[in-house]
Amino acid sequence: MKKAFLVRAVLALAVVGFAAGAATRFVFISRPRAAARIVSSGRNERTLILDPGHGGADGGAVSVTGSFESKLNLDIALKCRELAGLFGVTAVMTRESELLDYPKDAATIRAKKVWDTKNRTDLVNSTENAVLISIHQNKYTTASPHGSQALYAPTEGSAELAQSMQALLTQVTGESKRTAARIGESIYLLNHVECPAVLIECGFVSNAVEAKRLEEQDYQLKLAVVITGAYLNSIS
């Protein structure tokens, strides 16, 4: 890990505590009373799986600034991994780069997406005691909607984790009045995993102010602190 990143991460934690007040100041030290609790089954520890949405042939939504969602998702997920590492948690990534290695028979973009989604689902379902956090950006047909939202899978423990993440999001980013909600049925991954799973829509890339903010390293770090913090609270 780069030293500069460590310093920035620690600073971010301090800023988060300062900005969010006493309720979340010790987010990593003491678990807030309302935080979700995910209890490990059996003797094994939970395994955090970070899923930066899209990637490879699938760039996801395109921001009003021209950025691809896949890159923003990856940037935030990598920051989550670094932060988790600071707390002794080694996260598994569904991808670590913008490039994906597809099998030869996945010739079309659709075939590539189907293969990729199946691959990620298999990875999650073959990981014992997994907790999945999928990172995405939202997009709407008009420019006004903004704010982040945590969406949960139908599996046990998911709603609690999303609600805890949403509460932290609202406090830390000061940006969202949205509430955690169940994921739509069209999202394959979240509807086919067997573990607790949350998909976070970090913000709207169709909103000019938010799209710009989502590209800023400091804001990405803030989001990563929330995402990682909610997970750490859930297992502590």
Give the integer Cα–Cα distance in Å for 222 and 228.
Answer: 10
Bridge partners, 74 (sequence order): none
Q: Quote the strand ranges of 62-195, DSSP E.
A: 92-93, 130-138, 149-152, 181-182
Piece of the chain touching Zn ion by CB under 5 A; list 36-44, 108-116, 130-138, 174-182: 130-138
Only one of the segments 53-61, 91-99, 109-117, 185-193 lies at the binding site for Zn ion (rule: CB under 5 A); that segment is 53-61
The answer to whether 203 contacts Zn ion (rule: CB under 5 A) is no
- How far apart are CB 147 and Zn ion at their closest, in Å? 16
User: With contact defined as beta carbons under 8 Å apart, do 94 and 197 qualify?
Assistant: no
Q: Say how far apart CA 50 and CA 186 lie, in whole Å.
A: 20
Question: Which of 55/60 has CB closer to Zn ion?
Answer: 60
Q: Is 60 in the site for Zn ion (CB under 5 A)?
A: yes
Query: Contacts with Zn ion: how many residues (CB under 5 A)?
Result: 3
- Cβ proximity to Zn ion: between 204 and 219 the closer is 204
Helix, strand, coil percentages in the chain from 3-state DSSP, rounded to 5: 45, 15, 40
Which region, judged by CB under 5 A, interacts with Zn ion, from 60-68, 88-96, 175-183, 206-214?
A: 60-68
**Does 147 sit near Zn ion (CB under 5 A)?**
no
Is 53 a binder of Zn ion (CB under 5 A)? yes
Of the candidates 37, 131, 34, 23, the residue with the CA atom closest to the CA atom of residue 84: 131
What H or E segment, with its residue span, contains residue 14? Answer: helix 3-20
Residue 128 CB, shortest distance to Zn ion, in Å, is 27
Decide if residue 136 touches Zn ion (CB under 5 A): yes
Which token pair is 174?
């000061």
Binding mask 85-124 for Zn ion (x = CB under 5 A): ----------------------------------------
Point out which residues bind Zn ion (CB under 5 A).
Answer: 53, 60, 136
